[in-house]
Homo-oligomer: A and B are copies of this chain.
């Protein structure tokens, strides 16, 4: 295992300490129980959004904590759900009296632990709503999931719901827009190489030199099929073909196109794939008016990418454009 670490058991803690030091103006970090919160939390009278999940997907979720997006993020160990204790502590710390929205990727452990935390928070008088993201069209049920997995769409839900919370929408309205984005977004990923969880020291799966995994999960879970390596245009056509037919997206739709790197993919490949995706969508009359290209929901050093497509309406576009000030997304501030 080749990694820049000191000890596999302290990787996430040391990384959190680094984040806290590098971004002290923006976030505060607690180590036990571990969570990242806005430095200025709680914001009185505003809905607070809390998300989280296993580490190893950075910048998701800690990189999205700040004005206009998350109030707090709860990182578990690498590829492992955070505990209810962590979620409770974060929820209490950032609650500003207007309720808390939990955004949860659909993995069994995450859903269970956030649900437990929601019940405990409610018992302490904090109003809590939960939105579960399940945007991955690749597979129904998988290694760690009943139903579809939550992947790239999560980033878009967090930004757009964060915009609604920042402008003062109440908990019902913030929850409603998060659910609307969740219902209109679809994703699918692929991998050229596996990744290695520090604690295990072994690659999550193996692929021959001429193979790739189509529909791979963000923990290296199996996707739809293992196929021979092919061109970027064919990869994009497979991913977008599945995405477009699923919602379905249609000619005349106005969309946000998000090409996401899995962590180890060079930027030029992501932009090349983005160009390929634009051609694919243009041929089908699907318009792209907002874009995101880069490493936003990763799988450690995995090489590969995912494509996410969101059918935009005017309100979503306005909230996407609203100011955001986080480690990983920043504009208008």
A interface list, Cβ under 8 A from B: 2-7, 11-12, 14-19, 21-23, 55-56, 58-59, 63, 78, 192-193, 209, 212, 229, 231-233, 235, 263-276, 278, 288, 291, 293, 295, 298, 300-301, 303-305, 330-333
Contact = CB atoms under 8 A, between A and B. Distances in A.
A301 B264 contact: yes
A212 B22 contact: no
Contacts of A298: 266-267
A190 B217 CA distance: 30
A267 to B, nearest CB: 4
A278 B12 contact: no
A22 B291 contact: yes
A265 B306 CA distance: 18
A200 B269 CA distance: 16
Given A19-B271, A331-B333, A231 B265 contact: no
B2 A274 contact: no
A311 B305 CA distance: 38
A59 B267 contact: yes
Contact of A268 (B56, B231, B271): B56
A14 B272 contact: yes
Contact of A12 (B23, B56, B265, B268): B268
A236 to B, nearest CB: 9
Contact of A273 (B4, B23, B291): B4
B22 A293 contact: yes
B272 A6 contact: yes
Contact of A264 (B11, B264, B331): B264
A304 B4 CA distance: 8
Contact of A22 (B6, B233, B264, B271): B271
Contacts of A7: 231
A209 B2 CA distance: 7
A275 B4 contact: no
* Nearest 4 pairs of A and B residues by beta carbon: A18-B271, A18-B275, A58-B267, A15-B268
Contacts of A6: 231-233, 272, 276
B272 A21 contact: no
A273 to B, nearest CB: 5
A157 B5 CA distance: 30
B2 A193 contact: yes
A209 B303 CA distance: 18
User: Chain B CB within 10 Å — which of A55, A269, A331, A332 has the most?
Assistant: A269
Contacts of A212: 2
Contacts of A63: 267
A288 B23 CA distance: 12
Contacts of A18: 270-276, 278, 293
Given A330-B330, A330-B331, 7 more contacts: A2-B192, A5-B269, A6-B272, A15-B267, A16-B271, A18-B276, A265-B301
